[in-house]
Amino acid sequence: MRARRPLAPALVWSAVGLLTAGCAAVVALPEAPGRDLYASKCHSCHRLHDPAGIDPDRWPAILDKMAEKAKLTAEEKETIRRYIEATSSK
């Protein structure tokens, strides 16, 4: 008769794998001027969102709120706004 292995370690490692897989998901951002600035400034605080995945009418309020938190200059905010406008669904 074979000895049984404890189930707990397998469950723990399965949970760790699932959690880290979710963290590894990366959004493929569309190419357009401002992409790198959007990625660097926004990803420093949270996961990135594909601009096309959010209703274009919601972006101005989101950008106003996030620009303050990210301490964007007026020029950076405008660059990101143009990027979002160029790549979001219309």
Cα 87 versus chain centre, distance: 15
CB 48 within 8 Å of CB 42: yes
Domain ranges of the chain: 28-87
The Cα–Cα gap between 55 and 29 comes to: 16
Confidence at residue 9, expressed as pLDDT on a 0 to 100 scale: 59
- Tens digits of per-residue pLDDT, 24-75? 445 678 788 888 998 888 888 888 888 888 898 999 999 999 999 999 999 9
Q: Helix, strand or coil for residue 32?
A: coil
pTM flag (> 0.85): no
Burial of 70 by CB count in 10 Å (0-12 exposed, 13-18 middle, 19+ buried)? middle
